[in-house]
Amino acid sequence: MPDLRFEAITVLVILLPGFFAARIEQRLAVNPEQKEFDKTVEALIYSFFIYLVFTAITHSFPVSVTIAKEGTATKYSVDASPLRLGLLALIAVVLPTLVSFAANNDLFGRFFRMIRATRRTWRSSIWSDVFHAYTGIVQVELVDGRSVMGWLKYYSDRPEDASVFLERASWVSAEGKPVAIEGPGILLTAQSGIRSIMFLSPGTPEPLSSKPVVVA
Catalogue all structural domains in the chain, each as residue range(s) with its CATH number: 2-112 (no CATH), 126-199 (2.30.30.100)
| Position 160 pLDDT exceeds 90 | no
Full-prediction pTM beyond 0.85?
no
Alpha-carbon distance of 107 to 91, in angstroms, equals 21
Averaged pLDDT of the chain: 83
CA dist., res. 77 & res. 23, Å (int) = 29
Query: In the predicted model, is pLDDT for residue 1 greater than 50?
Result: no
Q: Which of 52-66, 107-121, 149-163, 178-192 is predicted least confidently?
A: 52-66
- Whole-number pLDDT of residue 216: 31
Confidence band, pLDDT 50/70/90 cuts, at residue 3: low
Is residue 213 predicted with pLDDT exceeding 80? no
pLDDT of residue 176: 78
pLDDT on residue 83:
85
Highest mean pLDDT among 1-15, 30-44, 70-84: 30-44
Model confidence at 77: pLDDT above 70: no
Residue 11 identity: V
- More confidently predicted of 45 and 135: 45
Looking at residue 8, what is its pLDDT?
Answer: 63
Q: What is the pLDDT of residues 39-62, one digit of tens each?
A: 889 999 999 999 999 999 988 887
Bigger pLDDT: 69 vs 14: 14
pLDDT digits (tens, 9 = 90+) for 180-210: 888 899 999 988 899 999 998 876 655 544 3
pLDDT at position 106 over 80: yes
Highest-confidence segment of 9-13, 26-30, 88-92: 88-92
pLDDT category at 99 given cuts 50, 70, 90 is very high
Map the chain to HEC letters.
CHHHHHHHHHHHHHHHHHHHHHHHHHHHCCCCCCCHHHHHHHHHHHHHHHHHHHHHHHCCCCCEEEEEEECCEEEEEEECCHHHHHHHHHHHHHHHHHHHHHHHCCHHHHHHHHCCCCCCCCCCCHHHHHHHHCCCEEEEEECCCCEEEEEEEEECCCCCCCCEEEEEEEEECCCCCEEECCCCEEEECHHHCEEEEEECCCCCCCCCCCCCCCCC
C-alpha to C-alpha distance for 45 and 22, rounded to whole angstroms: 9
Percentage of the chain modeled with pLDDT above 90: 39
